[in-house]
Amino acid sequence: MPPSESRFETLSAALPANQRDDRQLLLIDGEDDQRALSFVELRRRALRLLGALQRKGLKAGDALILFVNDNERFLEMFWAGVLGGIVPVPIAVGVSDEHRRKLFRVFAQFERAWIFSDARTLERMDAFATAQGLVDAYARMQPQTLQAGALDVTGAPGLEHTAAPDDTAFIQYSSGSTRDPKGVVLTHRNITANIASIRQAAQFTDRDVALSWMPLTHDMGLIGFHLHMIAGGVTHAVMRTELFARRPLLWLAKATELRATVLCSPNFGYQHYLKQYEAKHPQGLDLSAVRLVFNGAEPISAELCQRFLQTMQPHGLRADSMFTVYGLAEASLAVTFPKPGCALGIVHLDRAALSVGQPVRRLSADAPQAAALVRLGTGVPGTEVRIADPERAPVADGVLGHVLIKGDNVTRGYFRDETSTQAAIAADGWLDTGDLGVVVDGELVIAGRTKDVIFVSGQNWYPHDLEGIAEQVEGVETNKVVAVGARAAQAEGGEELVVFVLHRGDVAAFAPTARELRRVLNQQTGLQVAHVLPVTRIPKTTSGKLQRHVLARAFEAGEFEAVRAELAPLMDTTADVPEAGTSDQGTTLGRLQQLCERLIPDKRIDPATNLFEINLSSLTLARLHEGIDEAFPGRLDVMDLFDYPTLQDLASFLDGPAR
């Protein structure tokens, strides 16, 4: 099907009543838990839900916040909104307090919005509101909340709304930060223009089969691997993100089973998969059908791309399948793609010469100052890309500058945030992405960013959000803490979260503060803090603005190696704990200890160890939950790990009456 035939004027037209019945959406919730839904049936269910919404009084133009983990319920309600002109607002449920605060802040941005959620999530929100003194705010939400499974869908189907191309289709919020959430307003024209561009640039056909584990609250998961597939008549599978986190090896096992031709993951997902692959060496993989493996959504590690391709080559994965792309929510997803079938492009630049307005300097791969960066192709059809100086004037190829974009796919602004809109979008329509890039051999290379955003585990976090949480720790003063995303020298993989704290004493005196800061950030955000480091000065501009990039570059250059080495043994919270005796292996506590020894061999965890004080990543916690669920089926929700953070607490909970 040529791209021109797949271009719709509105998103609602992409799910027609006469869609081929053999085109399916496959929802994967477990190894043996999956179900197929034809596009026709998805539309039918959406219209039934729309009828229920309209009987509740919702009408075109109303906002509907989707705060639900279940992919099937999410998509049914998303399409109900689209077909009825109701504006979906996807928000990730997450597992931390920060995700819950985000719901309150997003809801407050609307004069009148509705919330769609499920009973268990609402129970958690009720308890959170009580604990955080937000009872009044939650009381204002409750009359506007719709509970999954409680809507009457037995009545007449809903009446479809005829949308115009420039009507708002939905509002996309970033996946991590919460303090000042920005909603990217995407119109039907934005979305349909980008869908057509993706289809053409990546050479999709209706014979493709796609598989994604990306969350549907993320633009790559929703736009790239669902809406685009629906519009192009592409059969596609959506795996629960939590399932990938717990059992990453299922991803490529399912790709083998489905004969998938297109896959996707951000950088951290490849690292997560390879860690488990190298531990278990799964057999029976056949990736010979895969033609493209999308890699985007966060900074891309050239070394990790190479390792993934080399490791999967014996299983039939083509050497030219890694598809490194650049995009952002403000572009309705895609900005640049390489040509399908081209080998992974890597360029080595002198990291010390990466200055805006200056030519970059290419080095050999083995040069000490060489930064290995990936080529990201050229603008997708209909999208213009410009590298500019600080005044937004174009610069020559080979010169580092600000990445600007323009096109029908680019947002008209942020929801009720004129200040941010004017700062990002000039009168001539060019949007400043906040990234720094350079054109090398005709292709875009992203070399850094000007906006303060940290990419960790597939989520975007604003430093001031994390710094605000850190300031809750005793001994950490306001404006004396800096959070950055950085990669240690010679490290493979993506960015790590590094926190710097003003401290002028010795390192031993700093360690308790560092441990507590790490625990608080981990518990409230679910993020693993790679390093908490003392500094004697917080770099600022003459006007007092934090210069986070100064500390990030110093870290990446290895200037903190000595203090890291001195601090590392002091950060082990179990170092001074006597070796715990082994519990009876037949008891619940003994089984939990055995499980931790197997899944977290690099940590010594005794019965009283707080799991959030030993800096476990959200992915490790997900794997731990998977192991507990296998041993005690259906007894423990992942959220219970936050309520019962020690093995003693977990054992008592599991030994108690079943819920």
CATH of the domain at 342: 2.30.38.10
Res. 2: pLDDT tops 90: no
Q: Do 470 and 564 belong together in one domain?
A: yes
DSSP category for residue 329? G
Q: What is the pLDDT of residues 508-540, one digit of tens each?
A: 889 899 989 988 888 777 788 889 999 988 887
Q: Which residue has the higher pLDDT, 98 or 404?
A: 404
Which domain does 515 fall in, by range? 462-521+528-571
* Confidence (pLDDT) at 428: 93
- The rounded distance, in Å, linking the Cα atoms of 454 and 484 is 6
Q: Do 547 and 637 belong together in one domain?
A: no
Q: What tokens were used for 526? A: 């679910």
Query: What band does 541 get if pLDDT is binned at 50, 70 and 90?
Result: low
Res. 38: pLDDT tops 60: yes
* Over residues 190-199, mean pLDDT: 97
Q: Domains in the chain: how many in total?
A: 3
* Over residues 265-274, mean pLDDT: 90
* Confidence (pLDDT) at 569: 87
Query: What band does 578 get if pLDDT is binned at 50, 70 and 90?
Result: very low
Write out the E strands in 442-543.
443-449, 454-456, 459-461, 481-486, 496-502, 529-535
DSSP category for residue 425? B
Helix residue ranges, H only, 133-232: 135-141, 188-201, 219, 228-232
- The rounded distance, in Å, linking the Cα atoms of 564 and 560 is 6
* Confidence (pLDDT) at 650: 87
Give me the residues paired with residue 334 across strands: 327
- Domain end call among 449, 471, 487: 449
Query: What band does 579 get if pLDDT is binned at 50, 70 and 90?
Result: very low
Rama region for 176: left / alpha / beta (φ>0; ψ in -120 to 50; rest): alpha
Q: What is the CATH number of the domain that holds 472?
A: 3.30.300.30
- The rounded distance, in Å, linking the Cα atoms of 110 and 516 is 36
Q: Does 301 map to a domain? A: no
* Confidence (pLDDT) at 588: 86
Q: Do 349 and 440 belong together in one domain?
A: yes
Q: Which residue has the higher pLDDT, 659 or 602?
A: 602
Q: Does 228 map to a domain? A: no
Res. 635: pLDDT tops 80: no
Q: Do 488 and 535 belong together in one domain?
A: yes
Q: Are 63 and 53 in contact (CB under 8 A)?
A: no
Q: What is the pTM of this model?
A: 0.81
Q: Do 560 and 606 belong together in one domain?
A: no
Q: Does 216 map to a domain? A: no
Q: What is the CATH number of the domain that holds 639?
A: 1.10.1200.10
- Domain end call among 423, 449, 475: 449
Q: What is the enclosing helix (H) or strand (E) of 592?
A: helix 588-599
Q: Does 311 map to a domain? A: no
Q: What is the pLDDT of residues 277-306, one digit of tens each?
A: 998 899 999 999 999 999 998 888 899 999
Res. 575: pLDDT tops 80: no
Q: Do 398 and 491 belong together in one domain?
A: no
* Mean pLDDT, the chain, whole residue set: 88
- At 306 the three-state DSSP class reads helix
Q: Do 441 and 384 belong together in one domain?
A: yes
Q: Does 264 map to a domain? A: no
